[in-house]
Amino acid sequence: MTKNEEGETETGENPKIDLQSEMNEIHEKLAFLVVKTEKIENLNEQKFDEFAEKLQSIEASVSEVAILSNNQHKKKLNSEKKFVLNHVFNKVIEFEEDVAHFSKKECHFKANWYMSVKRQNNHLGFYVRCDHVVPKDKWSIQTQLIFKTVGRNQNVIKTSEYCYEENCGYGFHQFLRWEEMKNQYLIDDNLTVEVEVNILKMTGFEKENLRNFDESVKECSDVVLVVNDRKFYLSKFFLGLQSSYFKSLLLGKFEESQKKEIELKDIDPDDFQNFLELIHGESSIDDDTVSGILHLADMYDAPTAIRRCEEFLLEKSKKNLKNKLQLANRYRLEKLKEKCMNEIKTIEDLRSVIPNSINDLDHQTTLDLLSKSISFR
């Protein structure tokens, strides 16, 4: 296979009618999202009103229970290890049979990721490749992959799961019929593709710890938190200062406050290590760790950790606009959200941040994007 050296994104002016068509499509999608989110919020408001009087009668002393109950729900959520690859392939009509064309490599979670497409057997083949940055004897990444081609008035989306255990590509040999792709998905001979990568499990990617929380610090600890059989020796009072969840759990009136060893379920031990390093003053945030740290900081109500993650995303992160906006929405990072909205200056920018699911945008953000769409008209 020969790499296409000209496979980078090129900009150019589309005819006015094409721009109008794109704007109409974006407007319709956002309007649909507004209706959906309005229905969800109205339903939630109705349920809230039904229970408002009952909630008012609950004594203040049970506030600790409310904190734990809320966070127990959050703990059921998986740690966030996901990212999106986007690319525009140019001069697609000129693609030769069985010649692969590649997007740029992007480093996510200590591996290089990139997409490839090719013309084969009257179809468009569409793949995503994963290469381990540092060669190791044994490693694996279990993924859920969402492949997407973007057309004028519709998209093709296919989902699959795959476990990468060697440097290789995976995807669909017959993602889309070639003629259908030409007629409905090419814009000025350019093809826009996207893959959302959700990492379910990783092995063989351990990093060197910035701070130890093992038995070497046992004498300075008064509680052991266990995550997937991995023990963390910690101070109750320090955790209580950083997190309202741990303040209630470890220093409140619950049974756990009397225990020397407590199990934390449904979280990733590496994410917990990074979270602990951050609240203990280490610089553990990078583009690979920030999502996992934010997930735990939100779960455990740790405002200092949330603030430092937002500062990183504002000032240093190389994540794309769509990923940043999703994080801003999920964890209510208002400064980051404002910056993301200000960076949406073109139709292409607007299209790039539209999510596959309404769960990735709150109602207000959807309205803001709709307002952007209208302004472009």
Which one of 149, 183, 203 terminates a domain? 203
**Structural domain includes residue 142:** yes
**Do residues 264 and 357 both lie within one domain?**
yes
Domain CATH for 247: 3.30.710.10
**Number of independent structural domains in the chain:** 2
Q: What is the largest CA-CA distance in the chain?
A: 72
Domain termination site, one of 203, 223, 255: 203
Judgement on whether residues 198 and 114 belong to the same structural domain of the protein: yes
User: Among 107, 84, 114, 110, which Cα is nearest to 323's?
Assistant: 84
Residue 363: pLDDT band (50, 70, 90) is confident
pLDDT at 35 over 60: no
Q: Is the pLDDT of residue 147 over 90?
A: yes
Q: Three-state SS across 87-109?
A: EEECCHHHCCECCCEECCCEEEC
Of residues 64 and 276, the one with the higher pLDDT is 276
306 three-class SS:
helix
Rounded CA separation 316/156 (Å): 33
Contact assessment for residue 291 and residue 103, using Cβ atoms and an 8 Å cutoff:
no
Q: What's the angle, vertex CA 4, arms to CA 130 and CA 184, rounded to 5?
A: 90
Domain residues for 140? 82-203
Question: Cα 175 to chain center, whole Å?
Answer: 24
Q: How confident is the model at residue 369 (pLDDT cuts 50, 70, 90)?
A: confident
Among all chains, which residue has been given the structure tokens 């709709």?
370
Residues 118 and 228 in one domain: no
Q: What is the pLDDT of residues 5-18, one digit of tens each?
A: 333 333 334 444 45
The pair of structure tokens assigned to 265 is 């379920």
Strand runs (DSSP E) across the chain, as ranges? 82-89, 101-102, 106-108, 111-120, 123-132, 140-150, 155-164, 168-177, 186-187, 190-203, 223-227, 230-234, 261-263
Average pLDDT, the chain: 79
pLDDT digit string, tens, across residues 311-328: 999 999 988 888 899 899
Q: Are residues 367 and 221 in the same domain?
A: yes
pTM above 0.75, yes or no: no
